[in-house]
Structure 1
Amino acid sequence: MSKREMKIKPVIDRTFTDCMEQLQEGYVCAVAATAGCTVEALRRDLFGGDLLITRDGKTAHDQEVSLLLQLKNTTTVRPDPDKETFSYQLKKREYFDRLAAPRKHPKLLLVVMTTSPNQTEWTKGTHDSLEVQYCCYWRSLEGEQAADGVQKPTVRIPTRNVFDAVALTDILDRLDRGEELT
């Protein structure tokens, strides 16, 4: 057993990574609901996206705006909010290439959740609320380049890019106006 595996404290070993994905999907769904959006899980990861977020137009004559998300969840990264960025290493070059490819519509964002290796610490409930103890950060990699030969590219994610309802609304507003997300 590796040192990393000894530090992970799952409730049930065989479902830990599935539960990490479920936690992140729940987080994103809650953020999207707060921002007035719908979320559709994509059964097949053909385009590099795990979820499709859609916000309806403000009137019946306005077009909706959509956004694809590639979700990643890690127990090995602890972003320091006092630093401008943190590093996240993608496990495959293909993930980076899909995220970096120019897209017309919908745009594709990387959303990284940092999670405790102790599964029982992921949420805290009270009579007033349920709190998810860790958060997601977003980054657009469109147009970025990875060095030749690098099979597991590392990306820098701004700590200011917390993925919450305010950020999602701003992202969708910018897309609706035709602005870039860099």
Structure 2
Amino acid sequence: MSIKIQAIEEALSVSYVSAVVSKAGHTYDIIQRDYGVDISIRKIDFFNGQQIDMGAVLDCQLKSTINWSIDDTHIIYDMEAPAYNKLIYRSQNGAYPCLLVLLCLPRDSANWVLLNEEKLELRKCCYWMYLSGNPTENTHTIRIRVPRSNTFTPDAIPEILSSAMRDEL
């Protein structure tokens, strides 16, 4: 028997984020108990020629979906209102930032993962956004617009971490 589609989507988002963070030269912790955080990104630095773990810098709430749309500048996603409100609460009361990382998957699950002897391809892309502002009074969903420029890539990780450490997200 196969696991549920939601579990597959979640595992793919963890795989995507862990690969990107690793490629950026940092490390991560997968959070076992889900209270709104899925992965903690840890900054790795050098001291006296040795690597040193500088500690958790940024938490991430991961979401995966086939229910997204795109326009010229944004990814449009209807996020569950309780999850949105948790991130808003966290932005106002948390010790350090929690980033929303959204994996936009193709509608056809046959195109989610493509592989052969030469490559492993995970489609489509992750985008990130730091949510702030006021909680929603909606009970089901809230539409968010994630800038397409916020692609979650190895090149983006240093700037995201630096912004988080400066409390500028």
| Higher mean C-alpha deviation, range 54-63 or range 109-118 | 54-63
**CA deviation vs aligned residue, 1:16-53 (integer Å, no higher than 9, x gap):** 2111111111001100110112221111123x211111
Is the 1:42–1:51 Cα contact (8 Å) retained in structure 2?
Answer: yes
**Alignment partner of 1:122 is 2:112:** yes
Same amino acid, percent of matched pairs: 26
Partner residue, 1:52: 40
Q: Can you give the 5+ residue segments of structure 2 that lack an aligned partner in the other structure?
A: none
Is the 1:66–1:172 Cα contact (8 Å) retained in structure 2?
Answer: yes
Q: Aligned partners of 1:169 and 1:150: how far apart in 2?
A: 35
Q: Aligned partners of 1:63 and 1:125: how far apart in 2?
A: 35
| Higher mean C-alpha deviation, range 30-39 or range 57-66 | 57-66
**Alignment partner of 1:15 is 2:23:** no
Q: Aligned partners of 1:137 and 1:36: how far apart in 2?
A: 19
Is the 1:65–1:172 Cα contact (8 Å) retained in structure 2?
Answer: no
**Alignment partner of 1:162 is 2:127:** no
Task: State the secondary structure of the residue aligned to 2:40.
Answer: strand
Q: Aligned partners of 1:105 and 1:172: how far apart in 2?
A: 15
Q: Can you give the 5+ residue segments of structure 1 that lack an aligned partner in the other structure?
A: 1-10
Task: State the secondary structure of the residue aligned to 2:117.
Answer: coil
Is the 2:69–2:77 Cα contact (8 Å) retained in structure 1?
Answer: no
Q: How far apart are 1:123 and its partner, in Å?
A: 1.9
Q: Aligned partners of 2:57 and 2:152: how far apart in 1?
A: 16
Over the aligned positions, Cα root-mean-square deviation in angstroms equals 2.3
Q: How far apart are 1:85 and its partner, in Å?
A: 1.5
How many residues align? The count is 163
